[in-house]
Amino acid sequence: MNSGQSWMTREKRSNRYKRHWESCGPQPMGTLIKVSFSHLRKSSMMFFVNPKKTHAKEPIKGSYCYSLHSSHETLLVKRFLKMFLKVQLNWNVVIPAESLDIKGLMLQKAILIRLLDDFSTKRATKDLGYLLAVTTLDKIGEGKVREHSGDVLFPVTFTCLSFKVFKGEIVEGVVHKILKHGVFMRCGPIENLYLSNQKMSDYEYQIGESPCFLNMKTGSRIEKDVGLRCVVIGVKYMEAMKEIQAVVGLEGDYLGPV
């Protein structure tokens, strides 16, 4: 990895995106943070922290930057371009009538806990992708009593982190299923990245106890549990299952097994 200065010099060439990561405190240089998506089938990703104090904008292709709100440290996520999004949402949180005897910080805690419970059941949306974590509770509005139940509805504004893939970006996944017509991969919370045999030229399907796709020229193999770098060709949101599926290919430079 290059120095923080070289990363920031190249990163400043683009100013279309500016995102912050507020869920982590200050971290020393070289710290490796693992973000676990345990509620999304236990997938995870790794992040490197760089202490360069600057606001993050869109990075160069092949890396990703976030700026920690508390210390303006820069978080560099290698190999990913636009997957992680910071968004602010407005939801309504309902607090049961029996819980309304609490006040002040305890009421705020009850609202936050209920928000987190509601958030965990949402899973994914078409526009935002997979909802990963609430980072800040920004505002709690005035409560409104429901006539029949006595419950109180509080409008809340909060910031969250989501995960979404975009057409044309480079992603890395791990192969978990081999079929004659292609392979399926996992990438973070996404379970179904599909690579067709028509999108991996020079690879041929090999039948056997451990089936794979073999490149006759280079000898490289695409088999189960192999990491694969590829380009996203298309993305589809499945409303009924609340999940995202994507089609990927190996047509491009530096794509293939890693």
Question: Can you tell me the mean pLDDT for 113-122?
Answer: 93
Question: Each residue of 145-190: pLDDT tens digit?
Answer: 998 888 999 999 999 999 999 999 999 999 999 999 999 999 989 9
| Under 8 Å between Cβ of 82 and 17 | yes
Q: Across the chain, how many H-helices and E-strands are there?
A: 2, 19
- State if pTM tops 0.85: no
Reading the block at residue 219, the tokens are: 């000898």
Confidence of residue 102 (pLDDT cuts 50, 70, 90): low
Q: Lowest-pLDDT range, 91-105, 142-156, 163-177, 243-257? A: 91-105
What would the CATH number be for the domain defined by 170-257? Answer: 2.40.50.140
Report the C-alpha gap between 135 and 5 in whole angstroms.
28
Question: Which residues make Cβ contacts (< 8 Å) with residue 80, sequence separation at least 6?
Answer: 45, 63, 64, 169, 171
Residue 106's pLDDT is what? 84
Question: Each residue of 23-37: pLDDT tens digit?
Answer: 333 333 333 333 333
Q: Which of 201, 188, 190, 193 is nearest to 177 (CA)?
A: 193
Among the CATH numbers 3.30.1490.120, 3.10.180.10, 3.40.50.1220, 1.10.260.40, which is that of 86-163? 3.30.1490.120
Report the C-alpha gap between 161 and 23 in whole angstroms.
9
